[in-house]
Amino acid sequence: MGIFTLAAGVISFLTVYTIVGHVECKLDRALSNKTGHLFIDGIDASHLSKKEFNKLLEEEDDKFMDSLSIWIGKHTLREKQRLKRAPLRYVGAWKAARRLYKSVFSTKPKITQSGNRITKHFSKPGNYETALNDFESFFPTDIQIIDKNGQEGFYGDILDGEYTLTVRKTSSNGQPTLQLIPRNGFVFRKLRYIDYRE
């Protein structure tokens, strides 16, 4: 079996995995709208202990990283093909995506809940330039400029539109932020950049 055949099989499997995750998010939203309870992966979160709930959110992160690996891996491979680099390092591309997520969202998050919206708050040393570099590393598409109400930044789609990725120069507390906003899910991720040199 050649490397290209193997890679095609891996991509096909991971694409199906992503589609299943997308369907799960839609089902969770439908169940939540019907019952008024928060559903994650088909599980009613109102019946979970705090420990079980946190474990479920960790599993959700693992699923998100798998989807992100597909997204970044595909874009990395396309770039390598464009530059005619050989041989293509398929496994390296997927691992790079997981490393990226873990490097950006490396701290233990503070978790807040407002209704059915869960937000995982992370922090990282850096400034707006760091935030822009992280934003670009996720290969967002359809990038738009944010320039209103004193806000400055960019937003774009990742994971084929399943998430909106937003980078802002300042937030309510004056720090740059990077935010992952799900289109159908309930778990939001917000990263604040803290410039310790100031």
What are the tens digits of pLDDT across the range 143-183?
999 998 888 999 999 988 889 999 999 987 789 999 999 98
Q: Which helix (H) or strand (E) holds 111?
A: strand 110-114
What are the residue ranges of helices labelled H in the chain?
3-35, 50-82, 90-104, 128-137
Show me where the domains of the chain are located. Answer: 3-106, 120-194
pLDDT band at 100 (very low <50, low <70, confident <90, very high): confident
| pTM for the predicted model, two decimal places | 0.69
* Encoded tokens for 185: 């899910």
Q: What is the pLDDT of residue 150?
A: 83
- The position carrying tokens 């969202």 is 105
41: left (phi over 0), alpha (psi -120 to 50) or beta: left
pLDDT band at 138 (very low <50, low <70, confident <90, very high): confident
Helix (H, G, I), strand (E, B) or coil at 110: strand
Q: What is the 3-state secondary structure (H, E, C) of 120-172?
A: EEEEEECCHHHHHHHHHHCCCEEEEEEEECCEEEEEEEECCCCEEEEEECCCC
Strand partners, 64: none
What are the tens digits of pLDDT across the range 6-56?
444 544 544 444 444 544 555 555 545 555 656 666 677 777 788 887 887
Question: Do the beta carbons of residue 158 and residue 165 sit within 8 Å?
Answer: yes
